[in-house]
Amino acid sequence: MFFIFQVFIQFIKKNRPEKLVELPGYSNPLSQEAAAMLMVQKPPTSKHVVQLYDHFVMEDQDILIMEYPRSYINLFDYVQRNRGNLTETEVKLIIRQLIVALHHCMSRGVYRPTHMKNILVHTNTLQVKLMDFGDTLLVEERRDDEPLLISAIRKYAEWATTEDLRILLDLLVPRISSWFWIRPRVSKECLDLLERLHDVKSRMTLQAMLAHDCSAVWVIRLGPRGRFTL
């Protein structure tokens, strides 16, 4: 019996010395993307990060053999496919999974910029996966630096991650203030989450966001006959 097993193979050239990273156990330096993929694969792994099946480290390039994300499209294309209309359930599922995925990456010492085009969404199940680690900040590679510097880098990475989430929510949740005839009912918990993400001085951490009482994000959508509904 034969099985067809599709994988995604990525070849990463090492033509930028400033982007090379030394990891314990490797005689050759790795590309930043390969190092990030190895770091986020430390057990326990996350189902919200594309799995790395194998890798080869060479002098001039790294080769990554990864999970092939069938039936996934990026979040930007998913929103476009739905004509910009997302239900409450869709937004809730996507955002919560994204927080879990980003928290996993941060716990492994990896910060990755997050935007709609580097978030993968399964078109049927809405499962979220992160794949692109080409432009990352590796906190753990600085383990030999001064403690104050390491702490500052971690704080910046945490702030940047929550800032990415704030921007993403601003894109997913329509700006309804200009639609003066609409009075949507938004939960107090949801309003609190959005307000705290916009408050730079007391912005929530990823862990706090996971524990927040807000279980829904309301999105205005166009109902039958062109009427706006919740």
* Residue 172 pLDDT greater than 90, yes or no: no
pLDDT tens for residues 117-164? 999 999 999 999 998 898 888 876 655 667 777 788 888 898 999 999
Per-residue model confidence (pLDDT) at position 56 = 96
List, as one string, the DSSP characters of 203-224: PPPHHHHHT-S-------EE-G
> What Cα–Cα distance (Å) separates residue 39 from each residue in 3, 69, 95?
30, 20, 23
pLDDT 10s digits, 2-50? 667 789 999 999 988 888 998 888 989 999 999 999 999 999 999 999 9
Give pTM, 2 decimals: 0.82
Residue 174: per-residue pLDDT:
57
pLDDT digits (tens, 9 = 90+) for 185-214: 456 676 777 788 888 777 788 888 888 766
Type of residue numbered 140: E
| Per-residue pLDDT, 215 | 45
Domains, the chain, with CATH or none: 7-67 (3.30.200.20), 72-229 (1.10.510.10)
Does an H or E element contain 120, and which? Answer: strand 119-122
Judge residue 227's burial from the number of C-beta atoms within 10 Å of its C-beta, 0-12 exposed, 13-18 middle, 19 or more buried: exposed
Tokens of 152: 């500052």
